[in-house]
Structure 1
Amino acid sequence: MLQKLKLLLGEGVIPSAILTDKEGGLMRPVAEVFPNSRHLLCTWHINNDMEARVSFLCNKNKDVGRAFKNGVWKRIMEASTVEEYDRAVASMEDRYVRWQSVIDYVHNTWLTDHRQKFVLAWTNEVLHFGNITTCRVESQHSVVKSWLGSSQGSLDTVFRKVHASIINQVTEIKNGLESSRRRHGALFKSYLYQHLVGRVSHHSLELILEEHTRMRQLSTEVFERCGCAKLSTHGLPCACNIYMAVQGGVGLYLDLVHRFWRTLEIGDGADIPEFVEESAQVVELFRSLVDDVLARDIAVVRDISRIVHDELHPENAGFEEPGPNLTRRGRPRKQRNSTTRNLSFVEHVRNMGPRRSCDQGSSSMSTQQTRSSLGSYMSIDLIPPGFKEWLPQFMLQYIRGYCDVIPDGNCGFRCAAEFFLGDQERYGEIRSTLVGEIGKLEQYRHVYRPDSIANVSWRINWRGGQCGEEHWMITDCDLWPLATHFNAVVVILSIGNRGGLFPNFTILPLENRYESTRPTKEIVLAFVNTNHYILLDLTPDFPLQPIPPRWRELADYSVLEWESRYQTRRQAWDQYSDEFNFRRGRS
């Protein structure tokens, strides 16, 4: 059945989550057929089984079973962090110490092997759009039976009744989607929802309203206590996103809402869903501003018209587009204590002419990278010679290519988006992901000290295109949540930094969030001249830079052994770098 379902979904379609009851014959095939999907268990079935079994074990006392389900068991299931989960389990064991059979049942049947499938501390990381029970399936089963009326009937009769049931459901869905496009309540007339009404479903607006109310309750601790569960599980703005929109007075934009909630068409002509583009709402906003300007005094119209004209036609204002700066700034190179800087990586590439894609210059790039960013990687031969002398020479044999992203202040996040999401233009999603991630672990407070989590969130959560230094990626700190969220090894390598090999280091995840035996990805970033990031493509056996000592202080016990898995590659780096520094010192 699961194999047929996979064929029905189509090639390349992977569900983010699959929800079932604890049917023994179904659990193993789900992991085999959909190995990359998170498997969740229905909380409704779990609660029913829990109440019945505890009642039986406690001398068939139904009151005890009901109290257990609504008390200690509810606190275990709703624990939003691992620490809360551990405290709730300890509380259960302490209160029911006389009922060892109950404790054994809870651990052996549910917690030991399946806690990641229903406890919020783990399911809050899964995009499930609010589906944590199979009640929708049960209710649809009941609807179909009501249409059939009898368990007996010919094939053509059953087919017509099932078809009529489906047509009725499609009609109801169309009515609901059309209502979302045409109508909205008074609660959503404020500026906060002005870009969303008519473009997203009513249900998503109600969920955002609930999160807005929660944001007010969190008050000034919104960044510390948000958790960003709504962003991870529903693809909707979480409390800290809403707080940013309120403080900025700009409202919530569509790019914060998952496409699932923006699909307002179904049926004929909608085989390929049409999603509302953000450009459309920008045009609509501009038109409203035009109407507002035309209603003002003629002097205001004249001044604004002049500003718009100068922006659209700079050639009439006597300005010329500046060419690339080919000269170095600073004192002449001959002086012994010269502060002359090297040309930046971007300036070198500009001077060297058009880019050459990886399939033209290097055929050794991995298949995975070719699929995710075809044509964006360039041959290592195109690295400017001025930087090769400052790159550790022993590393050249491991570098197969590189990807130079747009240098607009978002370059670090663009590199992450290119590697993990396959598109550097999705750097805003990486920023949002990191904002949500740093609110999950207490360790991030130590990573970012002395800065506060609120200030860090403000720096990272930038969606305005080109940005200044105040919104740049911080080379050390921002790589820790990146490694932990994506279960990846993050390597930073310095190029063109005359201060030596710094910064060269390796960041491992702070916790084993996906029940893995080791990180599943390796991303290598090059920090160019201390002001630009590029993405490197290295062979799988490249030497690994040092792991910061504070990783051992902050990492969870479940990942401490991971360091030993990279011992050979770590030793190779130490050996090569010692030889490189020795030869460099002699020269």
Structure 2
Amino acid sequence: MPFFEIVSVTPTNQNFLVGYVFMRNECTASYRWVLQRLRDLIGIDKEPSVFLSDRELGLVAALREVFLGTSHLLCRWHINKDVEARVTDMFKSKKVGAAFKNGRWKRVMDAATEEDYEAAVEMMKLKWASSLDTVWARVHCHIGNQIIAIRNDLEASRSKIGQKYRQLPLSRINGKVSQHCLKILDKETKRKRDLSYQFWKTLVIGNGNDGTTFGNDATEDATHFRNLMDEVLDSDNAILRNVTRIIEEELHPDHDNLQEPHINHRVRGRQRNNDTRRDQSYFEHVNRRNSQSGQRQGEDESDITQSRYQHLIPGPMLPFIIGWKHVIGDGNCDFRCVAEFFFGDQGQWYDAREIIANEVLGYPSLYGRIYGLGRLQINVERIRWDGGAVDARHWMVAIQDLFPIATWFNSMVIILGVGTVPSCLYPCLTILPLRARRGVTAPQREFVIATVSASHFILLELAPDSPLPPIAGWWTENHEPSVEGWDHRYVARRNMWDALTRQ
């Protein structure tokens, strides 16, 4: 019974299995039946762009009948790579996959005559034959792993990579081409800029030297910076605000936006040096400032800074934000938020990383369903880091990393998307603990974190009983019985969110 697979490619350049079937034989009628089922699956109004095959004549004839508008190409290189990858996955050994491709399979592909081909195929069948149930089990397991890997890849693409290309020049084609295409174009754009600054000269006039002199490294850096600033100033306001925030956080890493505005003592009436009022919320500050007439030109800068992201916060949540705190933007900002909230010191971000990594390692079967089968150790190594400032290889991955945070600290984690557009409600989610210790019946705290343009995190404080965004689907699918029904206690607050987002 010939085993036939249909493979396609995601927008992030990842292969996945569309369907598979055991056929009676390899004649045109059998292939026609398979392709008609594929047509039923994808819909009569959709046409694949290209079919790649190994020139199976029965399949070629059936393709002409069922998919009239689809091009048919042959690709020997991809056939060899796919065969090696499949065998490697089935036997969990790269050595076996390479040996199969370069051994029996190469003899089949390189057969010069029909007799040689038939002989090579027979030899391959004798060496690599397996039972029907073994093939089904292996393929079924492979599909399960692919689904998890694709889901994680697409989720990371939406929450991280997609936001990266919302800036010029790639913003004009973002959403019109695949993420893989955008990634290639972004690399080429950076390479072009690097080349443009690699060779540079400074013309010296008036000192008796008509030639050119090469500047030092400091001059080169300054020239590069000025060129970048010119490019930023020519961009839209969103890019200008984002770059301004990054520079400000680098120059003033300890700046805290939760300061009370300075009191103006030059007013009529009794001075209030020992005021015992509660701290005003961010929302109250903004409304008070907007409602005052004749505002002083030198008004406190912390008030202005607090409204930096006001226009980018999801509109329904703006009235419920009563405070926020910026942490140092050194690549550890996400874990700094965790350390600031749970330990009271953002400097303990490395302890937060270690605790989260240990939580993941302690329950591999539970978190394997969150991070994907076979990807647990990779993510643990990503989370663990104590070497200071870090690049994207050790950034927090939202939404996955929020699950061990919620579970270990027995907290409800709320993530809000900031820095896209006010109407954007992704990623706005609520994450509950995946398991609970004995005797624990509810989360003890509410940890609120916000992504800023998908590259920075800030710590927020919400008013009590604020609306809650949707419960993450991964919690519904993967939580243990010890936390069953915990989502029911938040129905009223979830309804508040639904009511606000429908307005």
TM-score, normalization by structure 2: 0.44
Q: TM-score, with normalisation over the residues of structure 1?
A: 0.38
Task: Pick 1 or 2: higher relative contact order, CA cutoff 8 A, min separation 6.
Answer: 2
